[in-house]
Amino acid sequence: MLNKLEALKVFCTTAETMQFRETANRLAVSPPVITRIIAELEQHLGEPLFQRNTRQIRLTDFGEQFLPQAQQLLEESERLFTPAKHRHLDEMGGLVRVTVPELPEQEAILAELLAGLKPYPNLIIDWRVDTVRLNVVEAQIDIGIRIGNLADSRLIARRVGAVSEKIVASPSLLAQTGVPHDLEQLQKQFPLSAALDANSGRFWAWYLNQDLQFTPRKPRFIGSNMYNNLQAARCGIAFAHLLDWVCDPYIANGELEEVLAQIPKIRWPVYLYRPQRTVTPTRVKVVFDMLLEILQKYFK
C-alpha cells in the first residue's frame, strides 16, 4: 500500500535534486527504493511525473503543476505532527550549500556565521569557495555571493556593498620602469599580470569603465586568481589590476602604489542571493538573513 506522505517527500526531494541517486543519499535509502516509490505514485495518480532518459530527468507538465501542491501539503503535514517546541529545530535540520568568491576577511565571516548557527546542531553548512561561476540550479546552490550585476530574475538578491578595481605596482618596479602616462603606454611598454578566467579559459579583461578596457596580450605573470596576481605585484614582477579590498591594505602600508588613479573606475555591486523557489526551507532563510547581516558589517 502506498504511503502517500512518504511518496510526496520522495517526489519533492527528487524534483529538487533531479537525480534519483542524490535523492536516495538525502533520504538515506537505496536508489531502487526511490525508483519504486516514484513509479507507484505515478501509477496512483495516473500521470507521469518525470520524463527520463539515460542522462537526466525533468518534470513533466503534470509534475510541474503537481509540485507546489505536494510541497504545500507536505509542509503542512510535517508542521501538524511536530510538537511546538521541536518545530523550529526540525525546520533547521539539513543541508545548506553556500558558494562564495574569494572574499576579504573570509575566515572571520565564516567563523561568525558558524558561531551564530551553533544552536542548530542538525544544520549542515556546505561552504564552497569557487572561481568558476556555477549554474545555480545544476549545482543545487542554496545561497551565493556574486560580484557584478545580476541578470537572472529567478534570484532573490540583496546588495551588501560595492567594490572597484585599481592598477597597482610595487615601489621597486616603479623605480625601474617609471610611471605610465596613460593606459595605452601601460599596455604596450610595461610588464603586466593577468588573471585566468576559469569559466572561459581566457584572461580577465582589465575593465576600468565602459570606455576603457583591454586584455593583457603578453603578460609577465599569469595567475589563477586575484591573490596570485597580488603576490606578483608585491614582489615587483608586474603591474596588477586588483579589487580594492585585495590591494588597499598594501597601499596603506607602502608595499604597493596605485597608478593612473585619475582614470574613473567602475563600481561593481556585491550581492547575496538565493534561488526563488515555490517553498524555501526555513534553514535557508535563516542562514541567508544571518549571512546578510554579517556581510553588511564587513562591506560598510
The CATH class that applies to domain 88-162+268-299 reads: alpha beta
pLDDT reported for residue 138? 61
pLDDT reported for residue 189? 93
DSSP H or E segment with residue 278: none
* Distance, CA of 119 to CA of 210 (rounded, Å): 47
How is the chain split into domains, by residue range?
Answer: 4-81, 88-162+268-299, 163-267
pLDDT reported for residue 263? 92
* Distance, CA of 10 to CA of 15 (rounded, Å): 9
How far CA 128 is from CA of 53, 96, 110, 134, 145, in Å, comes to 30, 11, 11, 11, 11
Q: Which CATH number fits domain 4-81: 3.40.50.970, 3.90.1150.10, 1.10.10.10, 1.10.1740.10?
A: 1.10.10.10
How far CA 46 is from CA of 11, 43, 63, in Å, comes to 15, 5, 12
pLDDT reported for residue 292? 93
Q: Is the separation of the CB atoms in 283 and 120 below 8 Å?
A: yes
- Residue 56 has a CB neighbour count (10 Å cut-off) of 11
> Tens-digit pLDDT profile for the chain (300 aa)?
678 888 998 999 898 888 888 888 888 889 999 999 999 999 999 999 998 876 778 899 999 999 989 988 887 876 666 554 555 556 778 889 999 888 878 889 999 999 999 988 889 999 988 765 655 656 678 899 988 877 666 778 899 988 899 999 999 999 999 999 999 999 999 999 999 887 778 898 999 998 898 999 899 999 988 889 999 999 999 999 999 989 999 999 999 999 999 999 999 899 999 887 767 788 899 999 999 999 988 876
187: burial class by Cβ within 10 Å (0-12, 13-18, 19+)? middle
pLDDT reported for residue 169? 97
pLDDT reported for residue 75? 78
The pTM assigned to this predicted structure is 0.63
* Distance, CA of 143 to CA of 123 (rounded, Å): 14
* Distance, CA of 208 to CA of 212 (rounded, Å): 6
* Distance, CA of 153 to CA of 150 (rounded, Å): 8
For domain 163-267, say whether CATH 3.40.190.10 is its number.
Answer: yes
pLDDT reported for residue 132? 58
Domains 88-162+268-299 and 163-267 share a fold: yes
Place of cell 537526466: 56
